[in-house]
Amino acid sequence: MTSVAQVLVSGLLIGGIYALLALGITLVLGVMKIVNFAQGELMMVGMYLTLVLNTAFGLHPYVALPIVALGLFLLGVLIHAGLIRWVVDRGHTQQIVMTLGVGIILQSLALMLFGGSFQTVPVPPFLGGTISIGPIQVATARLAAFILATIVTVVLLLLLNRTLVGRAVRATAMDTDAATLMGIPVRRVYLVTMGIGAALAGIAGVMLTPLYPVYPTVGVNILMLGFVVVVLGGLGSITGAFVGGLIVGVVEALSGLWLGASLSQIVVFALFLLVLLVRPQGIFRGDVA
Amino acid sequence: MSEALVRTVEITKRFGGVAAVDSLDLEVREHEIVALLGPNGAGKSTLFNLIAGSMPPDGGRLEVFGRNVTRLPAHKMCVLGVARTFQIVRPLAGMTVLDNAMVGAFAKTASVREARARAFDALELVGLGAVTAQLASGLTLGYRKRLEVARALASQPRLLLLDEMMAGLNPAELDLFVAILKDVRDSGVTIIVVEHVIHAVMQLAERIVVLAQGRKIADGDPREVMASREVIEAYLGDGYAVS
Amino acid sequence: MKRQGGLNIVLLLVSLVLVGVFTAVSAAAPIYVGGMIVTTIIYAALATSWNVVGGFAGQLSLAHAGFFGLGAFTSSILYVKLDISPWIGLVIAIIAGAAVAFLIGVPTFRLRGPYYALATLALGIILYSLSVQLNSITGGHAGMSLPPTPSWANMTFLQQWPYALIAGIYLLICLGVGVWIVSSRLGYQLAAVREDEEAARALGVNATKVKLIAGTISGALAAGVGTIYAQYVLFITPDSVLGTAVAIEIIVFAVVGGSGTVFGPLLGAVLLVPVGQVILREFGGALPGLHTLVYGIVVVIVVLLFPRGIAGLIGAAQRRIRGRGVRA
């Protein structure tokens, strides 16, 4: 019998994955002012890459993590250099359609290469699957995801606030023209940002593989959750993405407990709409910090 | 003897803790051309936007054509007869010059034929009659500014608000604009201009109102106002284009 | 837009003739050709209806699968459970589409650009989840089957050509609505809102009101297409009519064809749907997803190189010939 506390903890932990996905979205949004509708597909690519590394080389997802992160970083850079950078200055309509197009391409390639079936990465449950903290059973995979999300958030915050590169990124986010005038290579900042955003999606995918099957359209619904987190947490706010992820995880878990799975979806999206309409700036202010 | 066409009564707008416009009383009479001057940060643009209805005031009252329009949104102000231009011109880029003007005309008429006629008239008035079929995105700055005015005129306003129209124009274009605006006033429109280009203002305005720090520091005959001590002091230290 | 008006009337008449031609073709040709014709017309109508809010008003709605599915399920439920003729179901579906579009529009049209798109995406997913949730009425994931009793009264036929005709006439209605809007005051005001909403407001346009009108018309038309589709395939599921895949596909067709013009979406559908269907048939087994890959690549190329779509290319060429100045 699942207690509320149990569900609460589970939701909190999976919020880590939502946070990871949202971090990528919010970073790109804050710096480039682009809403990346392909973020879910980037996560999907990360998941398939994890699967391939596992089946071909026997790598455990957590071991493959740096490889996937790097691979997705390169993919993000490629996508930006080839496609996104041409629409950065154009209206949002073109940006939306462009990222939707990229998403379709990635999805279709996945379908063509791997087929539409649900696949799982066959790894033995991490550290036995669950550990007990008091009366609460904690799934180790969720705990790992949560811990990683925390680490990533802290690293990002440190990078953005304490390093020169980070300051360049924040300056670009605040005012692109002023940043250019101050000698900041804005185009390079965009490139790196896009790469990091993709890498974050890949990391989210890796952490999700022990918990969820891999299939070409896995990115679609998760993308929506990512956006809910971003809007809730504050567009462009790293802290907000983390906190928002946890909140959404908890809300989803609790409404799943009390209302059932499909209704919990509706609750989450209704919450999203509510936030969009009532307090669109979210909890934390943006400006990528 | 003309009644006040526009009247602000103790109108106030705050941003954060600062009063950009502070309890300001202003009257503009029908058929006047009034210039709003002042150093940067004086509150000219804020006052302008308040009168145009693009932002609601935090205090005070706005009366236009004898009606209290204090919280009326921008589009209703236009339908009422208050038309405005933007400091940084905003042409409807993907549409033709004629279509741009027609949008303005549609503020007062629902008929496509009537809108087209009024649009053509407005475009002729500003000298754009030859380029009506050209896309707005293909126009030079001077032409875009004229389009901005024509669009506003096509809505057949009683009050025309111009926001720093003269910036960036060469002397020939300036003189042209001054002549156009005088024609516009003669056709029955009251004009309020926010300007920095003093030379144009002196040719155009019948009355100058000077703002500093959200308050009115001068109001009257152009020559007297520009010679007054307070005004010169308010401007000292700011560089202006006095052509 | 004045010259455009004359051209639009001509194109409308040409479309009328083409509908007749293709109806005749679908009567004579093998079934899969007829099927391709019907499917193309249905998607063309759907893309055209989306275009009213997406192209004319510039509001990228990702919820149009929602209206499509709403229409499909509304008329099908009325037909299957209450024995109401699909023709009446069509009318009710259109009304339902209008009502839902209006209700959705009131809060969401206040949002700018991407946030409007996100809100409509969320709404689309909510509608999908609702249709799965209400499985006693809709059949949940398993969907609904419609009784295959052919007759004109039941809008059900054995051959392809009656479907082509009905869908074709509906398409003509959608196009006609588009032509009317574009040459009316509403059209000019919508275009102004699309180009620059704040400037439009300063020019007396009640932006919220015109967006709402466009959204309502758009949703209503899309719902009607849903009914026709349901009657054609006789089997609908939440995944087939309410999935985001459909929502994105119609945007692809509209954008590739040219989303600001009346006939652009039709052009996009005519070009991409048959291509997609052929690819699906030839390679669908070995390489599933190839046809959507083609869609994705095409739309990306279009956005990169000629964002106004094919209709935009034609328009630019026309302008170059007349020497009026090319769109930057």
Distance in angstroms between the alpha carbons of the first and the last residue of chain A: 41
3-class secondary-structure state, position A215: coil
Chain position carrying tokens 């000298």: B127
Cβ–Cβ contact C318 with A under 8 A: no
Can you tell me which residue has the tokens 């709404």? C123
Nearest CA to C252 among C215, C181, C300, C203? C300
List residues bridging with B160 in a β-sheet: B83, B191
Q: What pLDDT score was predicted for residue C110?
A: 83
Q: Is the dihedral of CA A107, A108, A113, A114 positive or negative?
A: positive
* Secondary structure E strands in C47-90: none
For the CA atoms of chain A, what is the radius of gyration?
18
Q: Which residues of B touch C194 (CB under 8 A)?
A: 94
Picking from A235, A263, A233, the residue whose alpha carbon sits closest to that of residue A248 is A233
Amino acid identity for residue B139 in this structure: L
Q: Tell me whether 0.90 is exceeded by the ipTM.
A: no
Question: Closest approach of chain A CAs to the CA of C51, in angstroms?
Answer: 13
Is residue C68 within 8 A of residue C249, CB to CB? The reply is no
Contacts of B143 in chain C (CB under 8 A): none
Query: Is C124:C62 a contact under the CB 8 Å cutoff?
Result: yes
Tokens of A126: 């991490």
Report the largest interatomic distance among the alpha carbons of chain C, rounded to a whole angstrom: 62
Q: Which among C198, C203, C322 is the top mutation candidate for probing chain B, defined by the most B β-carbons within 10 Å of its own β-carbon?
A: C203
Closest Cβ opposite residue B78 in set C2, C194, C204: C204
Alpha carbon of residue A76 to chain centroid: 13
What's the mean pLDDT when you consider all of chain B? 88
User: What does each of the 328 residues of chain C score in pLDDT, given as a tens digit?
Assistant: 445 677 888 888 888 888 888 888 888 888 888 889 999 999 999 999 999 999 999 999 998 989 999 999 999 999 988 988 899 999 999 999 999 999 988 888 888 778 888 888 888 888 888 888 888 888 888 888 888 888 888 888 888 888 999 999 999 999 999 999 999 999 999 999 999 999 999 999 999 999 999 999 999 999 999 999 999 999 999 888 888 888 899 999 999 999 889 999 999 999 999 999 888 888 877 788 888 999 999 999 999 998 889 988 888 887 777 765 544 3
Residue corresponding to tokens 């970073």? A27
Among residues 38-57 of chain B, which lie with CB inside 8 Å of chain C?
Answer: 52, 54
Calculate the CA C263 to chain-centre distance.
12
Residues in chain A with CB shorter than 8 Å from the CB of C292 are: 104, 107-108, 111
- Amino acid C202 reads A
Nearest to C113 among A92, A220, A272 (CB): A92
Nearest-CB residue to A101 (from C107, C132, C303): C303
Closest-CA distance of chain A to residue C215, Å: 17
User: Which residues fall within 8 angstroms of residue C149, CB to CB, at 6 or more apart?
Assistant: C156
Does the structure show a pLDDT above 60 at B101? yes
CB A59 within 8 A of CB A53: yes
Among partner residues C184, C188, C319, which is closest to B103 by beta-carbon distance?
C188
Q: Which helix (H) or strand (E) holds C236?
A: strand C235-236
Q: Is the pTM of this model over 0.80?
A: yes
Tell me which residue of B10, B86, A261 sits closest to C201, measured CA to CA.
Answer: B86
What is the C-alpha separation between B207 and B33, in angstroms, rounded?
Answer: 7
C192: which chain B residues are within 8 Å (Cβ-Cβ)? Answer: 92, 95, 103
> Given CB atoms, is C321 within the 8 Å cutoff of chain B?
no
Q: Encode pLDDT of A185-230 as tens digits.
A: 888 899 999 999 999 999 999 999 988 899 998 988 788 889 999 9
Question: Cα(C256)–Cα(C236) distance, rounded to whole angstroms?
Answer: 27
Pairing of strands A136-139, A130-133: antiparallel
User: How far apart are the CA of C106 and the nearest CA of chain B, in angstroms?
Assistant: 18
Tokens, residue C177: 């609505």
pLDDT digits (tens, 9 = 90+) for B57-78: 998 899 999 889 888 999 999 9
* Neighboring chain C residues of A107 at a CB cutoff of 8 Å: 289, 292, 296
Instruction: Give just the sign of the alpha carbon dihedral C45, C303, C188, C102.
Output: positive
State in Å, rounded, how far the first CA of chain B is from the last one.
35
Can you tell me the distance from the alpha carbon of A121 to that of A47, in angstroms, rounded to the nearest whole number? 9
Buried b (16+ CB within 10 A) or exposed e, B108-143: bbeebeebbebbbbbbebbebeebbebbbbbbeebb
A287 pLDDT higher than 60: no
Query: Which tokens hold the place of C142?
Result: 């398993």
Tokens 């056709």 — which residue?
Answer: B187
Please give the structure tokens belonging to residue A92.
Answer: 């949002």
Distance CA C156, CA C77 (A): 15
Quote the tokens at residue C176. 């006609």
Q: Where are the domains of chain C?
A: 2-242
Contact C203 B96 (CB under 8 A): no
Using an 8 Å Cβ cutoff, are C2 and C21 in contact?
no
Strand B33-37 to B207-212 pairing: parallel
Chains with ≥3 CB–CB distances under 8 Å to B = C
C205 touches chain B (CB under 8 A): yes
Whether B163 contacts B85, CB under 8 Å = yes
Do the Cβ atoms of A16 and A150 come closer than 8 Å? yes
User: Which residue among A35, A37, A112 sits closest to C287, beta carbon to beta carbon?
Assistant: A112
Using CB atoms, which residue from C60, C293, C307 is nearest to A105? C293
Chain A residue with CA closest to C291: the answer is A108
For testing contact with chain C, the best of B51, B72, B86, B95 (most C CBs within 10 A): B95
A80 contact residues in C (CB cutoff 8 A): none
Among chain A residues, CA nearest to C243: A220
Contact (CB, 8 A) for A199 and A69: yes
C250: nearest CA partner in chain A: A97
Q: Quick one: what percent of chain A has pLDDT higher than 70? A: 97
Tell me if chain A has a CB within 8 Å of the CB of C125.
Answer: yes
Q: Is the CATH number 1.10.3470 carried by domain A2-278?
A: yes
Provide the β-strand partners of residue B209.
B36, B219
Residue C248 sits at the chain A interface (C-beta within 8 Å) = yes
Other CB atoms within 10 Å distance of the CB of residue C169:
16
Question: What is the spatial distance between Cα B3 and Cα B7, in angstroms, rounded to a whole number?
Answer: 10
Q: Which pLDDT score, from 0 to 100, does residue A23 have?
A: 93
Torsional class of A234: left (φ above 0), alpha (ψ -120 to 50), beta (otherwise): left
Shortest Cα–Cα distance, A69 to chain C (Å): 25
Inter-chain residue contact B95 with C192, CB threshold 8 Å: yes
- Nearest Cα neighbor of A16 from A281, A241, A271 is A241
Is the Cβ of C130 closer than 8 Å to some Cβ of chain A? yes
A137: phi then psi, degrees, rounded to nearest 5? -90, 125
Q: B82-98, pLDDT tens digit by residue?
A: 999 998 899 998 899 99
Contact across the interface for C192 and B92, Cβ inside 8 Å = yes
CA dist list (Å): A227 to A7, A76, B184: 23, 19, 51
Contact A288, A30 (CB under 8 A): yes
C197: closest chain B residue by CA: B92
**Residue pairs between chains A and C whose CB atoms are closer than 8 Å:** 127
Q: Does A contact B via 3+ CB–CB distances below 8 Å?
A: no
pLDDT digits (tens, 9 = 90+) for B213-234: 888 888 888 888 888 877 887 7
Residue at token pair 């152009």:
B222
Strand partners, B212: B215
CB distance B99–C319 less than 8 Å?
A: no
